Structure 1
């Protein structure tokens, strides 16, 4: 019994240290992150000069950055949060910070980054910062998805209580199920499937992303 208690105490201590380390990294990311407007300016500038973020400056990633700039511009203009939900977000009193990890070439991020921004705009207690995956390897490797550096990754930091209260990514639940089912059947994602996924995002109209992100917040 004593050994089991000691083992449990050790595991609890290790878990506490792990959470503290993750919290420290998130705070570092927030301090060095850019706001959404600066991120949009960066992506648009990269399009103008034919470049992309990230270590791999391939023609494909440059092309995806161009596509994503147009996608984000469309979401910025067209996405609207229902008024009843706007009111709930506006009533949040605790201070929250969203830290998003992404790259300009990421197709999934082009849909979610603008929606997270729409949420953050509704309450001055919500701060939204973005960091680039390849520039923050330690943070990225702390928030892997199935042991992979999948992006986007959104981490919610409760500034009032000083703790991480949730994380999300890289896709809404329904899209994740679609990806996993396709991989199971075909072994990998094909260009045709990726196109179908973009069509799904457009048909979903951002509702899946909005619901998932709102589930991280203590809305009443």
Structure 2
């Protein structure tokens, strides 16, 4: 596993590098990933606009700022993503702001299709669902926990819709984006910091 992680880290991007890669590909009419299509390009363009907005509007609550500052050890967060992924676009600005506020979080992004071996270690119900956040000990590269592909309430929203209608269509995609809009990143902050609290208790 550590060899897989080291290989992925050699191809990893900072948040700003990731934004640049996605933006430059869009200028060429491309999305990240092995598959290119008009649909994925459309979603990538939507996500670019969405992330630009979220960078300005998403805020980490004062309580969560304090919790971030209380982290005792140094952690590496590895986020598996692609530019066309709507959930990733909603979550990345939050995690980036959390990283900026903490001296103990090093945040790296890897592209799913460029890191198949890593992705295969963290499947969701047998599928390569993204995004996925891996939390590692910075020194040992031991994986201490993983999270994703979305906050629990949003995960349940999609799961229940699929069980009822048998598909993931534009209706649920719109409903999911509305959920994120109203949630304002609070569920993500809460779940990640609770996960960090439990990791620190166990160590």
Bucket of the pairwise TM-score, normalised by the shorter protein: over 0.9
Give the SS at the match of 1:166.
strand
The answer to whether the Cα contact below 8 Å between 2:87 and 2:131 also exists between their aligned partners in 1 is yes
Whole-angstrom CA distance in 2 between matches of 1:117 and 1:108: 14
Given candidates 130, 133, 137, the residue that maps to 1:154 is: 133
1:1-220 superposed matches below 5 A: 21=1, 23-160=2-139, 162-218=141-197
RMSD across aligned positions (CA): 1.6
Distance 2:6 2:69 in 1: 24
TM (normalized to structure 1)? 0.85
TM-score (norm. length: structure 2):
0.92
Q: Which runs of 5+ in 2 are unaligned?
A: none
Instruction: Note the C-alpha offset of 1:217.
Output: 1.1
User: Structure 1: where are the runs of 5+ without partners?
Assistant: 1-20
Bigger radius of gyration: 1
